[in-house]
Structure 1
Amino acid sequence: MKEELHMVGNQFNQINTIFTCGYIVGMIPNNLMLQVVPPRIWFPCMHITWGILTFCTSAVTNVQQIFAIRFFQGMAESSTFVGTHYILGSWYKSGELGKRSGIFTSSGLVGTLFSGVLQAAVYQNLNGTAGRSGWRWLFIIDGIITLPIAFYGFLVFPDVPANTKAFYLTEEFAISGETESFGSNNLMGQWLKAIGGYTIEQIDYYPSGMTAFAIASTLVCATWTDATRSRARWPVLVYMCVACVIASICLLVRKAPVGLNFFAYYLAGASYAGQATTFA
């Protein structure tokens, strides 16, 4: 994408910043809408919007178009994460929330874990097909994956207990975000490309190790807080912070060996551990 769209300077960072701005702008309005429009309607609508914008990304001709698309994608995406935690909090007791929040958070991380494999496979098999670059095909496939899940949500998402219409339920059965920029902005992939010596497939594969560590950290911490019935969730935040500080120090070491940087990026996966416990 960088070469084809002639991206220069810090435009990659600008893309991420503009997405974050859209996310911040959209969070409160999206959550207010959940009080007006049933979540089983609002969530899928936002997913469809996100999917359409993803398709649009595959056809861009300059980086300015990506700026606009990513802002509105951020607004649409901001409906889901905090909104789903609101739904989880409507259904589960306090002693059950940590584990459920952990499963939800980890499901997103599992998607990230496999994204490197998907990216490499798309590049290997579709790059140049029908005159489109591999990165363009990746956005097309992302959109194709998204839309069926959105339509599934119209049918199956349960809303909240007070007004659920889920056919499978009866009355008897009813800030830490920016510390995650190591993974959410794929800084490791950018670093691997910058230092050179790695194939495109390796640049897609290797960051998956950080996501795997994030999944393990999230599930272990969330399960621990439920198992101990601990309302003091601060040890998880301390674990997160210590891991991120160590990772940051390692990455700031001048002329650090490659292995140390790999260790630091993978350790930074701990930054996700607080999502489930804090939201719960």
Structure 2
Amino acid sequence: MSSADDKQQNPQIQAEEVVESELKPTWRSYIWDSLDKSPEERKFLFKLDSAVLTFASLGYLIKYLDQANINNAFVSGMKEDLSLYGDQLNYMQTLWTVGYVIGQIPSNIILSSVRPSIWIPSLELAWTVLTFATSRCNTAQQLYGIRFLVGLAESGFYPGMQYVIGSWYRKDELAKRSCIFHCSSAVASMFSGYLMAAVYHLEGVGGFRGWQWLFLVDGIISLPIALSGYLMLPDEPENTRALYLTAEEREYGRKRMEKEGRKGKEPYTRAKIWKIFSSWHIYVLTLLYITFNNGNNASAPAFSQFLKSSTAPKYEVWQINVYPTTTYAIQIVTTLAYAWTSDSVFRGARWPAFIFGGCMNILCYVSLAIWDIPIGWKWACFILAGAGYGLSGLAFAWAHEICSDDREERALVTGSMNEIAYVFQAWLPLLVWKQTDAPEYQKGYITVSCLAVLMMATAMATRWLHNRQNRSREVESESEGETAEEVIVDAKA
């Protein structure tokens, strides 16, 4: 049988040859990474992006929509209807966070034995039902219980999808896709504001208040997206059964990850657990994500409450919901800018974005802590603060690269990053973002300014440690190469 016939009948041979056919990057890779790759790889990535990125982005949109809608409902009549004049909003957000924290580790454990294409869409269905239920709450206590369960159901989605993305994409592809995925949270926050402004006109229809219609419409949007996940998610390269991938493409996906140094499943032995917890990876990367995740004012609808406060000009409900979406527009622009410059201009370096985002946070939040500043600059600070919101995708891309040679470590580190960050978010807002301090929140602005400084320092420490790790691996690789050459020479002698 000829060599050509072998290739046609053996998809593994084809996959190996396709992976090895690397093209030299040109200026087109600055626009999109796959433009410089072989036709086979472009076709493969197009299929993968169409399924994984579409579902990830839509899924995160509805997750964040169902997470953030409580703030829009609060400033659109829910506060007055349910007499929420104390710190009830803080308690609702805290209970959501508690559920989110409690659910993450069990969810990650389940994800190791249950296919992502089954587990993640099932979680989405659960929080969709709970979103419908929120519209029928009549007391703060009912809202506390629902918000806890929503957080529990949502806990597995973000780290789970980041893990799936990290399982399929290579280093030069990760940042863009992780950041596009994260952009969905900003789109959801904007959409929630626009949606609240729109559904407010349904006030009284069917006996529901405008803020109740927000939860009903959110649930209607969420349901078909959740159901689509059962077909769109490809699981992992070693066990994928995605209908849109051929046998050759499934093998090709496995070979791509092998070349990237991503290893398959291994048992959690005592030696492996010791290796993970004796490494700097889990501690430094978790600290980096804590400082990012808690280093903004997302825990309180500060801009909306400023607009609603008696010290500001009187704005209508639609304006209170729409004007703060400008912050998320800035988040979208800067998140995409971070992704493209990190992959191309800075040649895979992630730290410059953390420095820029940290500086923007300090500029905006120190000004807001002073508070007695010109009204135009105050608006600018609320809006420009969005530049510090979009670093999550880069943090996870960096973690995938640093932990690329150990699948179990990568899962545990990325899970810990999200988990511990939300542990802090469970109690920190109760201290520094108290509803009764609105709209000034001086303690909150001072706190996030300090966290911005710590985030920049942690990013530089991560850079130094990562570079040291790469140098060490290069030395080990050279040493192994020299040993192999000596063995060959001895064998010939």
TM-score range, shorter chain: over 0.9
Is the alpha carbon distance of 1:273 and 1:57 closer, same or farther for their aligned partners in structure 2, counting shifts above 3 Å? same
Paired residue secondary structure (2:309): helix
Q: Secondary structure at the match of 1:113?
A: helix
TM-fit CA distance, 1:59: 0.3
Once the 2 structures are TM-superposed, how far is the Cα of residue 184 of structure 1 from its aligned partner?
5.8
CA contact (8 A) 1:95 1:229 kept: no
- Bigger drift between 184-193 and 114-123 goes to 184-193
Q: Is contact 2:364–2:385 with CA below 8 Å preserved after alignment? A: yes
The whole-number CA distance in structure 2 between the counterparts of 1:80 and 1:184 is 20
SS at match of 1:273: coil
Q: In the alignment, which residue of structure 2 is the partner of 1:154? A: 230
The reply on whether 1:189 has 2:301 as its aligned counterpart is no
Q: 2:319 aligns with which of 175, 198, 202?
A: 202
Shift of 1:229: 5.9
Where does 1:1-280 land on structure 2 (aligned, <5 Å)? 1-124=78-201, 126-173=202-249, 174=253, 175=289, 176-180=292-296, 182-183=297-298, 185-195=300-310, 196=312, 197-228=314-345, 230-280=347-397
1:171 Cα deviation after fit: 3.7
Aligned residues: 278
Q: Is the 8 A contact 2:175 2:343 kept in 1?
A: yes
The corresponding residue for 2:411 is: none
Q: Say whether the 8 Å CA contact 2:189–2:325 is kept in structure 1.
A: yes
CA distance in 2 between partners of 1:253 and 1:260 (Å): 12
What is the Cα deviation at residue 187 of structure 1?
A: 2.4
- Using the TM superposition, give the Cα deviation of residue 29 of structure 1 relative to its aligned residue in structure 2, in angstroms: 1.6
TM-score by length of 1: 0.94
The CA deviation at 1:94 is 1.2
How many angstroms does 1:84 deviate by?
0.8
Residue by residue over 1:114-142, the C-alpha shift from the partner in whole angstroms, topping out at 9 and shown as x without a partner, is: 22111100002x11111211000100111
**How far apart, CA to CA, are the structure 1 residues paired with 2:164 and 2:235?**
7
Given that residues 183 and 211 in structure 1 are in contact (C-alpha distance below 8 angstroms), is that contact kept between their aligned partners in structure 2?
A: no
Moved more, 254-263 or 126-135: 254-263
Letter of the 1:136 partner, please give it: Q
Find the aligned partners of 1:274 and 1:230 in 2 and give their Cα distance: 17
SS in 2 for 1:144: helix
SS, match of residue 37 in structure 1 = coil
Aligned-partner Cα distance in 2 for 1:66–1:41: 28
Matched position secondary structure for 1:3? helix
2 CA distance for matches of 1:165 and 1:17? 39
Amino acid of the structure 1 residue aligned with 2:344: A
Q: Aligned-residue CA RMSD in angstroms? A: 1.6
Distance across 2 between alignment mates of 1:266 and 1:170: 46
| Farther off after superposition, 100-109 or 225-234 | 225-234
In 2, Cα distance between equivalents of 1:129 and 1:101: 40
Measure, in 2, the Cα distance between the counterparts of 1:114 and 1:199.
Answer: 18
Contact 2:121 / 2:229 at 8 angstroms: preserved in 1?
A: yes
Q: Which has the larger radius of gyration?
A: 2
Distance 1:36 1:94, change over 3 A: same
CA distance in 2, matches of 1:184, 1:259: 23
SS class of match (2:237): coil
Q: Deviations over 1:55-83 (max 9, x none)?
A: 11100010111111111111211211111
Which piece of structure 1 moves more, 55-64 or 102-111?
102-111
TM-score (norm 2): 0.54
The answer (yes or no) to whether the contact 1:5–1:63 under 8 Å persists in 2 is yes
Shift, 1:185, TM fit: 4.0
Aligned mates of 2:216, 2:151 — CA distance in 1: 18
The CA deviation at 1:230 is: 3.6
Tell me the CA shift for residue 272 of structure 1.
2.1
Instruction: Answer with 171-180 or 31-40: which moved more.
Output: 171-180
Looking at structure 2, the residues matched to 166 and 271 of structure 1 have their Cα atoms a distance apart, in angstroms, of 36
How many angstroms apart in 1 are the aligned matches of 2:157 and 2:382? Answer: 26
Secondary structure of the equivalent of 2:84?
A: coil
Does the CA-based 8 Å contact 2:183-2:390 persist in structure 1?
no
Residues of 1 paired with 2:330 and 2:350: CA distance? 20
Q: Distance in 2 between matches of 1:224 and 1:57?
A: 41
**Which structure 2 residue ranges, 5 or more long, are not aligned?**
1-77, 254-288, 398-493
Alignment gaps of 5+ in structure 1: none
Q: Secondary structure at the match of 2:136?
A: coil
Work out whether residues 183 and 210 of structure 1, in 8 Å CA contact, stay in contact via their aligned partners in 2.
no
- Report sequence identity in percent: 42
